[in-house]
Chains A and B, each alone.
Chain A
């Protein structure tokens, strides 16, 4: 054993790559069902009246959001961490039995927690806080999973050979710390079995049921401090970590400006935490909190674009690679969509714009140009880059990848353009009134007008799902494609025709 050269060990990466794909399919399939339910309400009953409880929109919606956020995205984050972490710290998981054990435990416990989430949400057990629907026993399991992730990060850093921490590592650390803090504070809750009514009598109720420690406006404030930063530390920070590693690596180009990457890092860390107020404009929270949220949101363009432009400039002089490599296409489109949604977000955070945008489909459009164009594309690109290296084989098919790219790009475009039109139409119709102040339209008028756009969104989502299935198939076939030499894996990934 002694003589075998030391190699990186991708066991845990492979496990999380599997859940990234599996939960991606589940989450997006449910997304497509939701989209068609909004366009054609009959779809709520697609398994018949008897099962309507489990197939209606309201039961499935949290399953969609949690499957794509805590399933697909989080698995992608874990998979890339166990890959990128080893490589930039120049230390192998195989060097520490303890870290290897913790990594595997991390995965299996994560899988058990995911199963518990799926079952409980299907059963309708929920705390009703968006993106924090899990009841207390699951919350405790999530905390343990998260601690294991942290031990993995800091353990690997502890035994590293490379003293300097590469920028991606900073972003992973921030993800870990950010989510830890947010999750704990937002999920402070009391199991009802411990509570007693004002007259001193026992309340009881289901053992798993709990109530939040916050109420009213405080609850809203904590919830959106959490909700917004779940976007920050789940959909932005770790995805930036990925692009800072995978784009330079795949293109063979050094980061355009390392200083800019550091400046953007601290800028992002500082600004994001104050911007949550933009979810609560015109609500009961203090006016200054709303104004502060708006201001910080607008300034947030700077560090966001700092990272994105840094990535685009990394391709300086090498733009022919975008045409030549579908993998680079995915990443360049991802950073472009990142710029796009971080311009759109600040615009929506301006009070007068938000007065039209809030509660409408424009927000849903904003969400999905970010998650489909940026998060989804970047995670798929990361998996495409890792697959040849963890399986030591070339990517099964380049043309399949290119086709997937165009199908999904069309899907994203159909999704957000239809939601823009739907959202702004909705916003304008809700507020329209005659000279006496009577509302010009009733709710059903908006529903009728929006129907075609909902259908287009459904089609766009379906295209994205089809592309994702092509991706899954391509990765699956990669496992048995042509074996490659180490030398072929230096930068651009080897791909079969």
Chain B
């Protein structure tokens, strides 16, 4: 196998790998809210709007400690 052929296989394999990673991540983003303690990522989208120091956090550190 000369270098060009090697590069071609490498190129194909890495492209395939990256495509799989990309779609797996997108799948993860959408599917996470479905399982039991899943998170709907969209609940974070208005964090900037509720950022006063006494606004309720989306997920409080203190709640976490209580558990």
The interface of chain A, by Cβ under 8 A from chain B, is 5-8, 87-88, 90-92, 160-164, 166-168, 244-246, 248-249, 252, 254-259, 261-263, 266, 288, 491
Contact = CB atoms under 8 A, between A and B. Distances in A.
Give the residue among B7, B25, B55, B61 with the most A Cβ atoms within 10 A: B61
Contacts of A161: 57, 60-62
Contacts of B45: 248, 254-258, 261
Nearest to A261: B45
A263 B29 contact: yes
B60 A162 contact: yes
Interface in B39-62: 41-49, 51-55, 57-62
Nearest to B32: A259
B9 interface: no
B42 A166 contact: no
The 9 closest A-B pairs by CB, nearest first: A254-B46, A162-B57, A87-B51, A255-B45, A163-B59, A258-B45, A254-B45, A248-B48, A166-B47
A364 B23 CA distance: 37
B26 interface: yes
Q: What range describes how many residues of B lie at the interface?
A: 20 to 34
B48 A249 contact: yes
Contacts of B64: 163
Contacts of B52: 87
A252 B47 contact: no
A164 B49 CA distance: 15
A254 B49 CA distance: 7
26 contacts: A6-B53, A7-B53, A87-B52, A88-B47, A88-B48, A90-B53, A92-B53, A162-B59, A162-B61, A163-B59, A163-B60, A164-B44, A167-B44, A244-B48, A248-B45, A248-B48, A254-B46, A255-B46, A255-B48, A258-B45, A259-B30, A259-B41, A259-B42, A263-B25, A263-B29, A288-B7
A255 B43 CA distance: 10
B67 to A, nearest CB: 12
Contacts of B46: 248, 254-255
A168 B47 CA distance: 10
B26 to A, nearest CB: 7
Nearest to A244: B48
Given A254-B45, A258-B43, 17 more contacts: A7-B53, A87-B51, A90-B57, A92-B53, A161-B60, A162-B60, A163-B58, A164-B59, A244-B48, A248-B49, A249-B48, A255-B45, A258-B42, A259-B42, A262-B29, A263-B29, A288-B7
Contacts of A261: 45
Contacts of B54: 5-6
B22 to A, nearest CB: 8
Contact of B49 (A6, A163, A288, A491): A491
Most chain A beta carbons < 10 A, residue from B44, B59, B64: B44
A11 B25 CA distance: 40
A262 B59 CA distance: 18
Interface in B6-36: 7, 25-26, 29-30
Nearest to B64: A163
A266 B55 CA distance: 29
Contacts of A491: 49
A72 to B, nearest CB: 24
Contacts of A246: 48
